[in-house]
Amino acid sequence: MLSDRQMQILEAAKRSGRVSVDELAGRYDVSVQTIRKDLNELCEQRLLSRVHGGAILSSGVENVGYDARRTIAAEEKAAIGRAVADLIPDRASLFVNIGTTTEAVAHALLRHAGLMVITNNINVATAMRPYPEMEVVIAGGVVRRSDGGIVGEAAVDFIRQFRVDFAVIGVSAIDADGSLLDLDYREVRVAQAIISNARHVILASDSSKFERSAPVRIGHLDQMDTFVTDAAPATIQHICRDNDVRLIETSPAPADRSQSHR
């Protein structure tokens, strides 16, 4: 059984994706040790997962709200977006799928010229629509109310009509063995079609995805050509190196700053 405070902490994690020990101690006027005990009990029940300074929602079947996800690792996502944009030349064609990190990539691409962008992400289409240098093509299908993602067989069939220079994809979670995971099997079908119809596939994901889980498998890291993240654990670095996946870290751990992985 959860206490009232633990229930409230869990609801806060569902709203924002992450809770802080110091912030919770201040909110409830209790010691940090008391909050740590609450978080440990929630983690023992696999409702949350501990991270430095707090905890994150650990559910493998429920995502954090889209607006809240925008605020999680926002600076890291912006840096990843800029790094991905640097890889894409003017006058290229590309897919961009749903996600807050891929949305950050779209914003970083707004100064490019002559891009053709095919997307199942209403947020990406909205951001790019006012720019005359962008030709935006949006997939048809079922619109998810939660995040504006367009999913379903109609979207898959639409994506299969194209063969583009680049694909920029995001995922809900990355397993330690390199499996790329998502929460919605309908979005997985779209992502798989995107991967199959691009000459160069770029995975854009912040490091919080290494701490999450999701039930549906998109594919494996070895199917990517480039992986852009803020920092990757050693196991992921090894997978990239062994499979000739270019790894770009925007904020690598100090010991890794001089290393380049391909």
Q: List, for residues 104-142, the tens digit of each pLDDT value.
A: 999 999 999 999 999 999 999 999 999 998 999 999 999
Q: Mean of the per-residue pLDDT values for the chain?
A: 89
Sequence spans of domains, the chain: 4-58, 68-256
Residue type (1 letter), 188:
V
Residue 262 banded pLDDT, cuts 50, 70, 90: very low
Contact 42, 55 (CB under 8 A): yes
At residue 107's C-alpha, the angle toward residues 245 and 119, to 5°, is 70
Q: Which residue has the higher pLDDT, 225 or 70?
A: 225
The predicted structure's pLDDT at residue 50: 84
The predicted structure's pLDDT at residue 45: 79
Question: CB within 8 A of 249, min separation 6: which ones?
Answer: 229, 230, 231, 232, 256
Q: What is the mean pLDDT of residues 197-223?
A: 93
Residue 44 banded pLDDT, cuts 50, 70, 90: confident
CA dist list (Å): 236 to 102, 182, 207, 227, 242: 20, 18, 11, 10, 10
The predicted structure's pLDDT at residue 58: 65
At residue 255, the 3 state secondary structure works out as helix
Instruction: Report the CATH number of the 4-58 domain.
Output: 1.10.10.10
pLDDT in tens, 52-74: 899 987 655 445 566 666 666 78
Q: For a pLDDT cut of 70, what percent of the chain falls above it?
A: 90
Q: What is the pTM of this model?
A: 0.78
Q: Does domain 68-256 have CATH number 3.40.50.1360?
A: yes
- Residue listed under structure tokens 């905890």: 55
The predicted structure's pLDDT at residue 253: 65
At residue 169, the 3 state secondary structure works out as strand
Q: What is the mean pLDDT of residues 27-48?
A: 90
Lowest mean pLDDT among 16-25, 69-78, 85-94, 149-158: 69-78
User: What span, in angstroms and rounded, lies between the C-alpha atoms of 72 and 14?
Assistant: 12
pLDDT above 70 (res 186) = yes
The beta strand positions in the chain, using DSSP E, are 18-20, 48-51, 54-57, 93-96, 115-119, 134-138, 142-143, 150-151, 164-169, 173-174, 179-182, 198-204, 216-220, 226-229, 246-249
At residue 81, the 3 state secondary structure works out as helix
